């Protein structure tokens, strides 16, 4: 069984506002499918338009929080996971806190008095999704909150950490504090490329964190963007994963790069070797939406990693969790997992 507080996540807690839309809606707001971006002025009216749709759903989200929720669900040990992030003092924030506690997470939210709880528009067309995040309060997280004794105690207690790349835009100094603690205490630090725009526009802060990363997750489009930004001149995901695994590292532990590719095999690279693992095939008619698929993969993977299972088991659990989530709306799951 997983010990209490073994896994700590830190990131942007967002309430997903999810609805099925059509192509003209995407064109109206200049949105590409299978992408994740930060909201601009032109996207502001979109949130009300989504909220007015008959099929709209509100789901506690945010990439890192999704992964931690899925890991918690897979582990089935109350309080095995903790999460830190910033919400507003409003009804969405209350809803988020309630949801997360019900899911078994030990949440230590910083409540911002001035900003609203962050939201993420999830536009679904034909099962594929596009994400537009309005960070709002999530963007207000401060490392002073992390350093308070009751919150830093979560860092001390954990042996595994997961922070997605999205948090690089919010509080790189908080990430650095956790990364340095992990390296100094021989703990495991996991990170995610998260989105092409992170690799392109936050390259500097990303490069500061990478030397501390033991497990780096990403998908094929993020990996290819990372390669382009670093001038590697290859689109071959296996080669890119290998190059990522060989980037300079602070601790002696070899980095493992894990790149998912939708329905194609998962690529795992470490120590000069690449291994691919098939995903669980799913007929198109069973696909509900891909929102949270990557987050769920990471959550499933982490659930076995903290139990010190071999990589093959971790990938298998990741594929299982992703397979469950894409057959449901948003990053949701049944009461109990049936993973073996």
| Tokens 């709002």, residue located | 136
Q: Where does 160-292 have alpha helices with state H?
A: 172-184, 196-201, 203-209, 220-229, 237-245
Q: 3-state DSSP call for residue 38?
A: strand
Structure tokens at 298: 């990471």
Catalytic residue flag (residue 112)? no
- In order, the DSSP letters of 100-159 are HHHTT-EEEEEEESSSPPPEEEEEEETTEEEEEEE-GGGGG--HHHHTSHHHHHHHHH-S
Instruction: Output b/e per residue, 185-216; b: 16+ Cβ within 10 A.
Output: eebbbbbbbbbbbbbeebeebbeebbebbbbb
Residue 317: count other Cβ atoms within 10 Å of its Cβ. Answer: 26
Q: What do you get for the CA distance between the two ends of the chain, in Å?
A: 14
Residue 14 β-bridge partners: 61
Nearest to residue 103, comparing CAs of 134, 68, 58?
Answer: 68
Burial zone of 60 (CB within 10 Å; 0-12 exposed, 13-18 middle, 19+ buried):
buried
Instruction: Output b/e per residue, 323-335; b: 16+ Cβ within 10 A.
Output: bbbbeebbbbbee
How many CA within 13 A on the CB side of residue 154? 26
- For the annotated catalytic residues, the residue numbers are 295
């Amino acid at each position: 069984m997983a010990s209490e507080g073994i896994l700590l996540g830190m990131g942007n807690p967002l309430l997903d506002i999810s609805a099925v839309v059509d192509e003209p809606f995407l064109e109206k707001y200049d949105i590409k499918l299978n992408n994740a971006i930060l909201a601009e002025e032109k996207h502001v009216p979109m949130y009300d338009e989504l909220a007015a749709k008959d099929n709209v759903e509100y789901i506690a989200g945010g990439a890192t929080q999704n992964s931690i929720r899925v890991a918690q669900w897979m582990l089935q040990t109350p309080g095995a996971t903790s999460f830190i992030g910033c919400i507003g003092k409003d009804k969405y924030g209350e809803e988020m806190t309630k949801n997360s506690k019900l899911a078994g997470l030990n949440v230590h939210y910083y409540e911002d008095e001035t900003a609203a709880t962050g939201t993420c528009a999830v536009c679904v067309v034909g099962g594929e999704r596009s994400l537009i995040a309005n960070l709002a309060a999530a963007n207000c997280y401060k490392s002073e909150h992390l350093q308070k004794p009751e919150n830093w105690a979560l860092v001390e207690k954990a042996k595994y950490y997961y922070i997605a790349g999205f948090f690089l835009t919010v509080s790189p100094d908080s990430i650095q504090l956790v990364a340095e603690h992990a390296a100094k205490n021989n703990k495991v630090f996991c990170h995610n490329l998260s989105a092409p725009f992170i690799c392109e526009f936050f390259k500097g802060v990303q490069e500061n964190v990478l030397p501390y990363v033991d497990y780096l997750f990403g998908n094929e489009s993020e990996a290819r963007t990372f390669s382009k930004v670093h001038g590697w001149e290859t689109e071959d995901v296996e080669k890119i994963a290998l190059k990522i695994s060989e980037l300079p590292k602070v601790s002696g532990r070899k980095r493992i790069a894990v790149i998912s590719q939708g329905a194609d095999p998962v690529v795992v690279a470490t120590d000069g070797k690449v291994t691919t693992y098939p995903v669980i095939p799913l007929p198109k008619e069973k696909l509900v939406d891909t929102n949270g698929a990557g987050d769920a993969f990471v959550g499933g993977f982490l659930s076995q990693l903290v139990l010190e299972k071999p990589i093959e088991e971790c990938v298998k659990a990741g594929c299982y969790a992703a397979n469950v989530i894409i057959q449901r709306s948003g990053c949701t799951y049944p009461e109990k997992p049936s993973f073996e």
